[in-house]
Amino acid sequence: MSLRFCKQIFRGLGNHRIPENVCKHLLDMLYHAGYQPPDSTESPKDNDWYFIRNAKELQEAGIKFKKREGSRRLLFDVDFSENGTIEIPCLKIDDRTESLFRNLVTYEQCSQRKHLYVTDYITLMDCLINSQEDVQILRHSEIIENGLGDDGKVCFLFNNLGKNVIHSRRRHFYYNKVFDGAKEHCNRKRNVWMAKLKRDYFNSPWALISLLAAVALLLFTLAQTVFTVMPYFQKD
């Protein structure tokens, strides 16, 4: 019955087994159902290690968001790929979500663990979500299922869950690789320029036609100028 409840909270649990001698109570079972230990963790590369831009700004810099399928670590298994995509498992948000996360964060804060997976997940989502528009981006990417009906409520939820909690130590932060990858992508001006070009000129057929017409007009003007000036050079 307890595992059935865990499956309702953490989708994709499947046949994931939790050792009986590990879990001491229901919160402990929920905690172990939501994650598995990482293969390794690396220290972040800069001082601003616990902060990345919100979803809208990352999208404007060319980063894409995608629902993560077949995750081995369930809810907390977030990945940043070399092609500039952040993959996040789907999270269904309803009336139980806030109390669930608050209980898990409290349990984690009192457990004296060096890896604070739930707290780190809340930090990640708090960074990504600053406005209703950020929630909309994640919802359209099928990363968030909003059972509350109002994107503003989801924004308020994540912006308040991380208050007055102790964050992970620098080298134990679970999403170091994700944060470093996103920052490096945004720091490359070429990625930002390409994203702006696609957004401004390739987001619709009419924008593309206007761009091609402008390029054709520029080439025609240049050719006309060359043919006009050429006779003067030939006389010399």
For the residues of the chain, what is the DSSP string, one character each?
-HHHHHHHHSTT-TT----TTT--SHHHHHHHHH----S-----SSS-TT----HHHHHHTT-EEEE--S-SSGGG--EE-TTSEEEE--EEE-TTHHHHHHHHHHHHHHTT-S--HHHHHHHHHHHH-SSHHHHHHHHHTTSEEESSS-HHHHHHHHHHHTTT-PPPPGGG-TTHHHHHHHHHHHH-HHHHHHHHHHHHHSSSHHHHHHHHHHHHHHHHHHHHHHHHHHHHHHH-
The pLDDT value recorded for residue 198 is 61
Q: What is the pLDDT of residue 12?
A: 47
Is the predicted pLDDT of residue 208 greater than 90, yes or no?
no
Instruction: Enter the pTM of the model.
Output: 0.71
Question: What pLDDT shows up at residue 197?
Answer: 59
Tens of pLDDT, residues 5-26: 555 555 544 455 555 555 555 5
**Residue 123 pLDDT more than 80?**
yes
What pLDDT score was predicted for residue 124?
94
The ranges assigned to domains in the chain are 42-191, 205-235
pLDDT at 23: 58
pLDDT mean over 145-151: 92
